[in-house]
Amino acid sequence: MARGVALTQLRWSDLDAFDHVNNVQIVRLLEEARVRVFWPATPAEGTAASTTFDPKSTVVVARQEIQYSQPIPYFSDPLVIEIWVGRFGGASVDIYYEVKAPESAPPASYAIAMSTIVFLDKETLRPRKLYEDEREFWGRFVDEPLEFRRN
């Protein structure tokens, strides 16, 4: 019952012509954090894995929301991305994120975000209910959902 943490390196190429991390690249970093925390063992690394590797399933991102607080400069040390499950649907999870400064830098929060991930049957591409062991796996990362500022 705790947030996961992904230590995620920036790349110089994440900077755009305004010389700070491009807003789209921040969405890219969220994806990378998600892979690092929730799909921790990849077939390439040769380990067995959770039901998130069920070969009869696939996942899609159905929705994302991102709120940026301040520009991110290039850091050579990895950003700290906290990531957790804020809400379970029948066939989906709402993943929340907070993007923070590297451990070696003064504390800063740069962005918060959420993604709705839907589990699909690979054949029919229709949503399918989360399995019990998936609920157990994702349940380890439950924390409060965030509120977004909306007009």
Name the residues that contact a second copy, by CB under 8 A.
Answer: 8-9, 11-13, 15-19, 22-24, 27-28, 31-32, 35-36, 39-40, 42, 44-45, 58, 60-68, 71, 73-76, 78, 87, 89, 94, 105, 116, 148-151
Nearer to a second copy, 3 or 145 (CB): 145
DSSP element (H, E) containing 28: helix 23-38
Token digits of residue 25: 């690249």
Rounded to the nearest 10°, the torsion over CA 39, 44, 48, 49 is 10
Show Cβ contacts of residue 4 under 8 Å, excluding neighbours closer than 6 positions: 37, 38, 82, 83, 84, 141
Residue 71 and residue 17: Cα distance in Å, rounded? 13
Residue 39 CB, shortest distance to a second copy, in Å, is 8
Residue 79 CB, shortest distance to a second copy, in Å, is 11
Residue 62 CB, shortest distance to a second copy, in Å, is 6
Nearer to a second copy, 26 or 134 (CB): 26
Residue 48 CB, shortest distance to a second copy, in Å, is 15
Token digits of residue 30: 């969220």
